[in-house]
Amino acid sequence: MSQAKETHFLALICRIHDEHFMMKTFVPYYLSQGVDMIYLIDDASTKPYDEIINNPKVKFITSPLKRNPDQMGEATKLYSEIKNTYEWVIFIDADEFIYTKGEDTTIRSMLLNEFKDADCLYVPWVFFSFNNRQFDGNDIIDDYTFRWNHDKKHPHPNNDHKNRCRYDNIESKTIFKSSKFKSMINPHFPSYPIGSNINYRESVNNTPHTNMMFNNFRENDISNGLMLCNHYRFSSIDKIKQKCNINSFNMYKNVSVENCILSDYPEVLDETLKIKWNGLKKQIESLN
């Protein structure tokens, strides 16, 4: 691979609205994973992101509409502008952290090696708990180490879109080659494949997979999976109250503060990413 291609290998796109707590970990974490440029589409945040705004590997795009109800419009436009610049693209939310299991592996190294033949890689969610916190902690990876037990059913009294049981099927996010997809109009997967020979894979066992849903995703998959996505959907009761007032949440029926709190299941202590992140932080500090 030429040097020019290498420097434009992996881009990340993320929409944000008052995600200051997440961003202070999100940005250094994903840069440590080999992301070349992080594009943040700022949807009317109420204060600046002082800690990261001057980072040369972070580009802010201000949404022209305050509290834009269209979750994908700006992201789709941005993708069309950068798709020919990067080989791979991640479209991710601020509360989603994709990680690899190997001590010396990164997202970038896995794309260059284990998943080099994939065109679109589905990475399943692993649901984490806020453990009844009233307010956000200091570091989303360090402080949030309890998660759902994915061998158990979690029936919710209202079974709404955000808080339903994930025992039978669970969502995923994708990393995909921009040369293989014309557009990005869904928050979970790319759109309009180019050609018919698209290699869709999943990141647990690196086998063929063509659906954003993972059926019967279990603890064994979490233990042995090559690449997973920790989903810290709710970081505190205070943050739940904020989220329930924004368009992406209140558009769904029966989503309420009370219902979101009921989906807090601190059942399994999982420090896998925390241990890896602490090692990465030492490496980052040694370079500064």
Full-model pTM: 0.93
Nearest CA to 33 among 279, 265, 224, 270?
279
> For the chain, what is the domain count?
1
Question: How large is the average pLDDT for residues 199-205?
Answer: 98
Question: How large is the average pLDDT for residues 25-39?
Answer: 97
Output the six-digit token pair for 3.
């040097």
Residue 227: which domain range? Answer: 3-287
Q: For residue 126, give every residue at least 6 positions away whose Cβ sits within 8 Å of its Cβ, in sequence order, or none.
A: 147, 148, 150, 222, 228, 229, 230, 231, 270
pLDDT band at residue 285 under the 50/70/90 scheme:
confident
Nearest CA to 154 among 270, 267, 272?
267
Of 46-55, 124-133, 143-152, 167-176, the least confident:
46-55
As a whole number, the mean pLDDT across the chain is: 91
**How far is the C-alpha of 58 from the C-alpha of 23, rounded, in Å?**
11
Q: Does position 2 have pLDDT exceeding 70, yes or no? A: no
